[in-house]
Amino acid sequence: MKIVSTTRSPNYTELEIPVEFVVLHYTAGSLQRTLEIFMDRAREVSSHLVIDTDGVVYEVVPCLDGRPRRAWHAGKSRLAIGSGAGARTIEAFNDRSVGIELVNINGNVFPYTEEQYVSLFSVIERLKGLYPALGSPESVVGHEQIAGFRGKCDPGRCFDWARLFAVCYPNQGAPQREAICGWELAESVRGMLGAAGVVWEAESGRVRVPAGLDESLFNRLSALCEASLSADRG
């Protein structure tokens, strides 16, 4: 696994956090665009790690040195865990999680690459070694599980949760990780991306984006999905 630690985001709090969770996201754009956003102080967003489609891992906010700082990836977030007397609600995931962004224009439409899964599983193994609270499969969640009430829908329908739990947590069960985005909405987004010439090529297993296409389209489509999904849940 190749790890690049030379691109550091200024968007984090110099505060060491206890790591109890890993939160998965998709970038809704290219690696380059994602790193640009994370380097921009005005955007006030970041995540600890970004995994490109070729499997290269970018450590944008420190977390692999055993001194994880507080990145700004989860936003307003909450999750109900446990049952009966042990039930509790966890909030403020930036205070207690490592955020991992997987490069994907839209994880409800396009599959993740084999290289991304391989690197992600290695990263999770490494994080488990550093942060013992990650020993349970319950500790790996999607942004949609903790912020679906705001319409967040990543990593999305195309993410293979069963595979993650089978590889990283064998014989420990597979917690429910249902996608927030329904089939119909995903298909309409696929149609809009297709109309702009963005298609997935089975042969290469890669998404092809026409040269010169304005990437802000991907963010607009994500915002559209969020608005639609949060209205459904509002």
**Contact pick of 20, 52, 154, 226 for Zn ion (by CB under 5 A):** 154
For the CB of residue 153, give the shortest distance to Zn ion in the complex, in Å: 9
Minimum CB distance to Zn ion smaller for 25 or for 48: 25
49-51 and 97-102 as β-strands: parallel, antiparallel, unpaired? Answer: parallel
* Distance of alpha carbon 157 from alpha carbon 101, whole angstroms: 15
> Of the listed pieces 51-59, 78-86, 148-156, 177-185, which binds Zn ion according to CB under 5 A?
148-156
40 or 199: whose CB is closer to Zn ion? 40
Of 19, 21, 25, 157, the one binding Zn ion by CB under 5 A: 25
Query: Does 48 sit near Zn ion (CB under 5 A)?
Result: no
* Residue length of the chain: 234
Instruction: Output the CA–CA distances (angstroms, integers) from residue 193 to 74, 142, 198, in the order listed.
Output: 26, 23, 5
For Zn ion, the closer of residues 57 and 180 by Cβ is 180
143 binds Zn ion (CB under 5 A): yes
- Write the DSSP assignment of 158-223 as a string of letters: TS-HHHHHHHHSTTS-------SS-HHHHHHHHHHHHHTT-EEETTTTEEE--TT--THHHHHHHH
Minimum distance from CB of 154 to Zn ion (Å)?
Answer: 4
Residues that bind Zn ion (CB under 5 A): 25, 143, 154
